Chain A
Amino acid sequence: MATVDHAPLDPWSALVKANAPRMAWHLAIYLLWSTLFLWGLETASGLPGMQVGLLATLLACIIMAGPCVPLSLLGWYLLVKPRWLRDPSLRERMEREGMYAAYAWWQHMLYSEAVALGFTLVSHHIWLWVLDTFGLWGTASPNFYGLSNSLTVSAFGAAVLFLGDLTRVRQLHAARRAETMQRQLAEAQLQRLQAQLEPHMLFNTLANLHALIETQPARAQAMLAHLIDYLRATLGATRGGTYTLGDELRLVGDYLALMQIRMGERLQVHIDVPAELHPLPWPPMLLQPLVENAVLHGLDPLPSGGRLQLVAQRVAASAHAPAHLQVDVLDDGVGLPDGPLPTDSFGLSCVRERLATSHGNAGHVAITARTPQGTQARITLPV
């Protein structure tokens, strides 16, 4: 999916400024943790002449551990920046999943450990020099500040902080994604509802019912049942439970049944979706707008109408793509208009947006022309 960048890219803001507040918290927690840890060790050792005092311990931690956090952020920035500038899909992924989307989580963890340990190796000796120069040793034994102690504190601190932050970032973005999906779904529902209550559709459907009640009451009842199911399904699509491809097919089926009564022989419908695909999860109302487009913009303008096909299949993994679910909406109608596709007027941007939220880069929708005539809309989802 192409990304349009309106603003010039600014890696410093996106990568550093955006993460700085969280990193400042890291720093505070790191210092607190290492100070208390070391001071606790000193106190707990209980040996007379081991204490250097709380303030001196804090100073030790600031010197030995403090720069770790900003340094690791800076190093990470320098590592990620070239990729971030080059790769729009990485930008999109990080936008969606946060800073840890740049590499695998264990790579991030190795990196923070490496920074923490490497820095401690250097700062440990600086601290010893400070103790010597300013005579801060007090009654403590020089052995207490062994390199292994310093490294242990760093390694622990870095691991705890990293894992804590990873969890938080993931939770944060999962919540944000759920929120976005909820909002988009609500928008889609509103759009759908407006489309159904679009006076022309509603009054024409009612006019058909009005006509059928007198002449063919049984058919009128069947039509009314489809209308009720259709309205109910649209309104209830978000309420609890998992939404499946089968649910979507029922919704689409009710819509097509209504249109078939209205258009008569001008609308032929052929649905080919294997039963084993019905229980697969499906983003609500992703197929419906595509089917509606095919009927209203593809087939209805043709005096002779035409055929709408709905074909779903599971495609096995290949050299080009991993295994995925592929759903095609095919019509042999008037085809695409000349020039660029007016995406907004056909509700396509909404479909794209929701697909990106629910499946990221793994979900696609593509509209193409068919030969000799007609349009194909293809949704691809990972399974």
Chain B
Amino acid sequence: MRPTALIAEDEPILAEALSLQLQQLWPDLQVLTPAMDGDEVVERALKEQPDILFMDIRMPGRNGLDAAEAITDAWPVDAPLPLLVFVTAYDEHAMAAFERHAVDYVLKPVQTERLAATCQRLQRMIAQRAPSPNAAGQGGLVAAREPEQASLDALRALLEAEQDADTDADTDSPPAPAAEPTRLRVLQVAVGSALKFVPIESVHYFEAADKYVRAVTAEGRQVPGAELLLRTPLRELIGSLDPEQFWQIHRGIVVNIAAIDKVTRINGRLRVHIRGQDDTLEVSRMFSQRFRAM
């Protein structure tokens, strides 16, 4: 079967040019009609399941990194993840991050020699993974293939770098030196007219919801209306939590591992069961590598 590629690029001339260049360099590649924004590429990628994604960083709708994450999370478990190549005109933070995490990227204007090298690398990777297309489900709970795991790690690192860059831009101050962050011991949450003190160990998990973060405790579950809502954004909260105690399992969920009863695979996806509760939490593909049997 011919490999397929989907281009995400909002500028029509650039999308067409990249498509032409790819067809010339790699006649066997089937280049799909380009997606013109971040939301369209997520939808189209999930539907058409290309082998390769060429992803512009700055796009209308969501940006390339967020789109890549959304695609990764919703990707069918039994299919190999698409190979990601970022395409960018200029983006200091992203480019530095690409270099650091050895992510494939090309610069606009796209030079033919550079694109040819990228195509060769992509061809090699596709050839490598062809013999074992259905390795999932073997070797325990987590069955990410080695190269795939590397690219997941890279993508996660990119998203973190992007958040750091955003935070730096927001505060407009030089990045703080890597000082030991103060760990939160107690949450102070406004509930009605009272200020409730909640020991951090009693929190089962944090869940981002709109403009709030919901802290779920055993007690809070039993009393409807007594939700603990924090105004601190999740990404800021994560910095003040003990990373050994609180694991991020999804872009919007951080779980206290002491509250985890078990992790199961349901329909190919990892789900965390919280002690004493019926419902389960989905583990995003991006964060599944920590769940391995000892």
Q: What residues make up the interface of A, taking CB atoms closer than 8 Å to B?
A: 199-200, 202-204, 206-212, 214-215, 261-266, 300-303, 305
Verify B91–A301 contact, CB threshold 8 A. Answer: no
A261 to B109, CA, bound (A): 15
B1-27: CB near A (< 8 Å → 1, else 0) gives 000000000111110110010000000
Q: Return the chain A residue nearest B92 by Cβ.
A: A199
- A92 → chain B closest CB, angstroms: 30
Verify A261–B89 contact, CB threshold 8 A. Answer: no
**Out of B16, B58, B60, which one reaches A303, CB within 8 Å?**
B60
Verify A206–B91 contact, CB threshold 8 A. Answer: no
**Out of B11, B16, B38, which one reaches A204, CB within 8 Å?**
B11
B61-86: CB near A (< 8 Å → 1, else 0) gives 10000000000000000000000000
Verify B110–A207 contact, CB threshold 8 A. Answer: yes
A211 to B7, CA, bound (A): 15
Q: Return the chain A residue nearest B21 by Cβ.
A: A211
- B56 → chain A closest CB, angstroms: 10
- A333 → chain B closest CB, angstroms: 10
Neighbouring A residues of B207 by C-beta, 8 Å? none
| Interface size of B in residues (CB-CB distance below 8 Å) | 23
Which residue, of B12, B13, B61, has the highest number of chain A Cβ atoms within 10 A? B13
A43 to B64, CA, bound (A): 94
Given contacts A215-B20, A303-B40, contact A203 B89 (CB under 8 A): yes
Which residue, of A206, A211, A265, A303, has the highest number of chain B Cβ atoms within 10 A? A211
- A98 → chain B closest CB, angstroms: 38
B39: CB under 8 A from chain A? yes
Q: Return the chain A residue nearest B18 by Cβ.
A: A211
Verify A261–B13 contact, CB threshold 8 A. Answer: yes
B90: CB under 8 A from chain A? yes
A210 to B112, CA, bound (A): 11
Verify B61–A203 contact, CB threshold 8 A. Answer: no
Q: Return the chain A residue nearest B57 by Cβ.
A: A200
Neighbouring B residues of A305 by C-beta, 8 Å? 60
Neighbouring B residues of A302 by C-beta, 8 Å? 60
A207 to B39, CA, bound (A): 23
Verify B14–A208 contact, CB threshold 8 A. Answer: yes
Neighbouring A residues of B110 by C-beta, 8 Å? 207, 210
A265 to B38, CA, bound (A): 17
Q: Return the chain A residue nearest B62 by Cβ.
A: A303
Verify A264–B12 contact, CB threshold 8 A. Answer: yes
Show 24 residue pairs from A and B whose CB-CB distance is below 8 angstroms, ordered by the A residue.
A200-B58, A200-B91, A202-B90, A203-B89, A203-B108, A203-B109, A204-B89, A206-B108, A207-B11, A207-B109, A207-B110, A208-B13, A210-B17, A210-B109, A212-B13, A214-B17, A215-B16, A261-B13, A262-B11, A263-B10, A263-B11, A264-B11, A303-B36, A305-B60
